[in-house]
Amino acid sequence: MRLRRNEVPLEQTWNLCDLFATPAAWEAEGKSLEADLQSVTQYKGRLAEGAATLAAALRTYEALLERGVRWGTYAELVLAGDGSDPENQGMAARSAALIAQFEAATAFLKSEILALPAGQVEAWMAAEPELAVYRPYLEQILIERPHMLHPETEEALAALGEVTGAPFVTYERARSSDMTFEPITTPDGRTQPVSFALYEDELEISADTAVRRASFDSFARGLAAYQNTLAATFATEVKKNVVLARLRRYESATHMLLAPHRIDHAVYYNLLDVIQSELAPHMRRYARLRKRVLGLDEMRYCDIEAPLDPEYNPTVTREEAGRLVLDALAVLGPEYRAIIERALSERWVDWADNVGKQAGAFCASPYGAHSYILLTFTGQMRSAFTLAHELGHAGHFELANRNQRLLNVEPALFFVEAPSTMNELLLADHILKGTDDRRMRRWVIMQLLMTYHHNFVRHLLEAELQRRIYEQAEKGVPVTAKLLSETKGAILERFWGGEVVIDEGARLTWMRQPHYYMGLYPYTYSAGLTCGTAVAQRIKEEGKPAAEQWLEVLKAGGSLPPMELMAMAGVDMTKPDPIRKAVAYVGSLIDELEASF
């Protein structure tokens, strides 16, 4: 029986009091934020006055935004902890409404900056040091100059933020609050509950084939019951972006969504095309190995992450997982270690599974406060890798927040998964160095392959689905459950080449992720892991100098474009070489795994 949120032991939950002492304090700050909007709107129509006025407006906006981020994060985290609670839903709704009001009221900043004569902002930054500190933020705005609409239109679109963000909210509400899955009966006669979180964090990697397949069937039936509703939600998101791209005179929705990433389209297509074509043969070999070792009648989609040594599944306590990750990341130095120690001792992490809790894992890092990590700790050592991943985000943003202004802190999505995936590789290397147990080594290699499967296969094939669906939508093809399932099935069949049975449940996996409602997010996992693989190998070979260089990259936050950040870390993503090197590394892991059997 899953616990209700109020039944979860306090030490297994995050400490939201570090943001607001009580819900009442949060409510009061919301009213204060609304009242203080005028501190920014007083500059409306005045930005052309000069560099000093623009700098003052940005300082005021930044100060109010910092408060707003903390306020909005609190509502987000409360809802993530229990999305089934009507009070939490109400808080999230109030947060979304005020955020939309805030964005509408401050939309004039971007519009008026872009309305200035070409070269004016650059000249002001050269002459005014107080404005020059906002160079990264202003440069990010200026790339949108050809695509801005009339200021009144921009304000109206910003005011509709709550509406344009509805597909994401609808999806998450269905996933966390409405979807139910039939319990299964295990071979020993026990009743096993199935939830989104339990399936993704535990049942999908069950060593028991009967349990794994039965839970997948239950999971697929639960998804199928919502396929038409969530296909309409997916279609709304796609249509929204197609329409906005046309309004803003982009070549396509993909061009619009990729613009904030600040990369050349060739880099995006390199990741999609090179990984799919060159990794597929390795993964098909991996599928054949799995089928043979596990003695399966057929290799189903739900068997891809089954442990190859079913009787060896090391467990770990929360405390042990924390110590293991701390030791693994010690190579990054004392400043980084201190951040991880605080995260583990000061309740930055929400560990428990409870009714209404958001599935999966994430890290939120509000500026001026510490990070918050959501995961579902299962007691299996795989959870230590999830912890290391999310602590990678926490460490990154803690360092960036300390060293950059709020408006310059956020790196492009292209880079953001590099610090997290690299931490998983450091953890694996640490465990391998500390053991001569053949089975443990084999288990760690399987964890690495799970990481590469998640980022180079699962998330990358999500990106391929986005590419194909947006191409269809641009041609006016209706986005339906049938189209989504057929397209997803075709992508999986092409990649696995007949080595994996792509059944109806596999075709429905377009329903599993919120990434489709976050722009072109899925492909960024492959970009991050490519960079993370290269940097982890550098740290392994060079030690402290490479680690110190990496910390400087993390501290840079969003002050540099992503390609420059990666170049600063010693990775040239303008060429496919790092991608091919990472794919070859995956092949070497499979080689070793084959040899071990």
Q: How far apart are CA 94 and CA 113, in angstroms?
A: 30
Report CA-CA distances (Å) from 103 to 58, 100, 120, 154, 565: 14, 5, 25, 10, 29
Looking at residue 162, its pLDDT comes to 85
pLDDT per position as a tens digit, 286-315: 999 999 999 999 999 999 999 888 888 899
Q: Which secondary-structure segment (H or E) carries 324?
A: helix 318-328
- Of the pLDDT bands very low, low, confident and very high (cuts 50, 70, 90), residue 159 is confident
Number of helices (H) and strands (E) in the chain: give both, helices first.
Answer: 28, 5
pLDDT per position as a tens digit, 165-200: 999 999 988 988 889 999 999 999 999 999 888 898
pLDDT per position as a tens digit, 531-583: 999 999 999 999 999 999 999 999 999 999 999 999 999 999 999 999 999 99
Report CA-CA distances (Å) from 72 to 65, 132, 526: 10, 28, 29
- Type of residue numbered 453: H
At residue 373, φ and ψ (nearest 5 deg) are -120, 130
With a pLDDT cut of 70, the percent of the chain lying above it is 100
Looking at residue 1, its pLDDT comes to 76
With a pLDDT cut of 90, the percent of the chain lying above it is 86
Q: Is 491 helix (H, G, I), strand (E, B) or coil?
A: helix
Looking at residue 413, its pLDDT comes to 85
- Of the pLDDT bands very low, low, confident and very high (cuts 50, 70, 90), residue 150 is confident
Looking at residue 402, its pLDDT comes to 96
Looking at residue 378, its pLDDT comes to 87
pLDDT per position as a tens digit, 370-419: 999 999 998 989 899 999 999 999 999 999 999 999 999 999 888 998 99
Average pLDDT over residues 328-341: 97
Angle between helices 23-36 and 86-115 (to 10 degrees): 20
CB 352 within 8 A of CB 284: no
Q: Is 597 exposed, middle or buried (0-12, 13-18, 19+ CB in 10 A)?
A: exposed
Checking if the pLDDT of 45 tops 90, the result is yes
Task: Tell me the pLDDT of the chain averaged across its residues.
Answer: 94
Looking at residue 10, its pLDDT comes to 95
- Of the pLDDT bands very low, low, confident and very high (cuts 50, 70, 90), residue 486 is very high
pLDDT per position as a tens digit, 90-104: 999 999 999 989 999
CA distance between the termini of the chain: 38
pLDDT per position as a tens digit, 495-523: 999 999 999 999 999 999 899 999 999 99
Q: Is 376 helix (H, G, I), strand (E, B) or coil?
A: coil
C-alpha atoms less than 13 angstroms from C-alpha of 225 in its C-beta half-sphere: 12
Pick from 66-70, 450-454, 487-491: least confident: 450-454
Average pLDDT over residues 8-32: 97
Checking if the pLDDT of 471 tops 90, the result is yes
pLDDT per position as a tens digit, 252-289: 999 999 998 989 999 999 999 999 999 999 999 999 99
Average pLDDT over residues 227-251: 96
Looking at residue 178, its pLDDT comes to 87
At residue 519, φ and ψ (nearest 5 deg) are 70, -150
Q: How far apart are CA 416 and CA 288, in angstroms?
A: 33
- Type of residue numbered 409: V
- In the 8-state DSSP scheme, what is residue 252? -
Average pLDDT over residues 343-368: 94
Count Cβ atoms below 10 Å from residue 232 Cβ, excluding itself: 15
Predicted TM-score (pTM) of the model is 0.85
- Of the pLDDT bands very low, low, confident and very high (cuts 50, 70, 90), residue 139 is very high
pLDDT per position as a tens digit, 47-88: 999 999 999 999 999 999 999 999 999 999 999 999 999 999
